[in-house]
Amino acid sequence: MRKALVVGINDYPNAPLDGCVNDANAMATTLEYNGGGSRNFAVEALLSPGNEVTRATLRGAIEKLFSGSPDMALLYFSGHGFIKSDGGYLVTTDAQQYSEGLSMNDVLQIANASSARNKVIILDCCHAGALAKPNLAGLSMTTLSEGLTVLTASADDETALEIDGAGVFTSLLVDALQGGAADIRGNITPGSLYAYVDEALGAWDQRPIFKTNVSSFAVLRTIGPKVPLDTLRKLTEYFETPDTHHDLDPSYEFTEDSANPDNVAILKNMQKFMAVGLVLPVDTEHLYFAAMESKACRLTALGYQYWRLVAEKNL
């Protein structure tokens, strides 16, 4: 069981926002299904306008999300963030002075105590990096429990940007989840999500924060593999060991009179591997010339990792 709580708040009485509900809807739609159409997360959305997202309402929804023992529990929040001496706050619709909303420390405490196998917190709000960071009062719980990952739009002293009614951070997240952050097998993890967002944001923009305590990344979403798995499994057939070169000759090139259909099929697969960084020609720039000049191709460092996955029957 995988469940996600998606929160988007525009309807703040004193400081309304424009894009948070749109962001939350985009995330909910993307998370609910994998790229192939299979069900991914059971998503509950808490949106304002539409609901009064009070401190009590938000805390209750978060406690429900992290209850039980699901395979994954994911919290996404888009709205105002606020920071003061005792830490950060997710601002709710009933915010008032000295009671701005739900403390990020409380959110972290709830997630830390959860029995969910994997826990992910994604915050698109100003000062979101205050989650799990020590503060002036020294009250923040900085330790993440096993299986918990935190990804925030900005550092604790930064604002989160919004352009044309959409958060910059969430727009990148959605692009990443729709395939931009997928590995060759089509898997998207919190680590690849962060890498995609971090690379897209410039040095002078808001800086995303990533913290985790996991031994291996869980998959957030899948799309179709960049190379069919049956083709990937041929790596160990084409390369006896990771250091082996696969010798080529003109019989691998379909335009040649000496073309061998079996070799032509191998070269086509090698071209697929090269397109995703698994294979390189030796002493030339293109596989075509490697074949025509009777040279070879070899595995890259990334190719070795996938060769190992095939050899260990993990692919």
Measure CA of the first residue to CA of the last residue in the chain; give whole Å. 23
Give burial (CB, 10 Å; 0-12/13-18/19+) of 18.
exposed
Radius of gyration, alpha carbons of the chain: 24
139 band by pLDDT with thresholds 50, 70 and 90:
very low
Domain ranges across the chain = 2-222, 229-311
Lookup: tokens for 42: 């059971």
Instruction: Flag whether pLDDT at 135 surpasses 60.
Output: no
Instruction: Flag whether pLDDT at 84 surpasses 90.
Output: no
What's the topology of domain 2-222?
Rossmann fold (3.40.50)
3-class secondary structure, 154: coil
SS3 of the chain: CEEEEEEEECCCCCCCCCCHHHHHHHHHHHHHECCCCCECCEEEEEEECCCCCCHHHHHHHHHHHCCCCCCEEEEEEECCEEEECCEEEEEEEEEECCEEEEEHHHHHHHHHCCCCCEEEEEEECCCHHHCCCCCCCCCCCCCCCCCEEEEECCCCCCCCCEECCEEHHHHHHHHHHHHHCCCCCCEECHHHHHHHHHHHCCCCCCCCEEEEECCCCCCCEECCCCCCHHHHCCHHHHCCCCCCCEECCHHHCCCCCCCCHHHHHHHHHHHHHHHCCCEEECCCCCHHHHHHCCCEEEECHHHHHHHHHHHCCCC
Rounded average pLDDT over 229-253: 96
Rounded average pLDDT over 163-182: 85
Short-list 156, 152, 165, CA closest to 124: 152
CA pair distance 286, 274, nearest whole angstrom: 9
Q: What is the pLDDT of residue 157?
A: 73
167 band by pLDDT with thresholds 50, 70 and 90:
low
For 229-311, give the CATH class: mainly alpha
Q: How many CB atoms lie within 10 A of CB 298?
A: 16
Instruction: Flag whether pLDDT at 140 surpasses 50.
Output: no
Q: What is the pLDDT of residue 131?
A: 85
| Contact (CB, 8 A) for 73 and 63 | no
Q: Quick one: what percent of the chain has pLDDT higher than 90?
A: 75
Q: Is-same-fold flag (2-222; 229-311)?
A: no
Instruction: Flag whether pLDDT at 230 surpasses 80.
Output: yes
Rounded average pLDDT over 36-48: 96
pTM: 0.87
User: pLDDT tens, 298-315?
Assistant: 999 999 999 999 999 988
Q: Quick one: what percent of the chain has pLDDT higher than 70?
A: 93
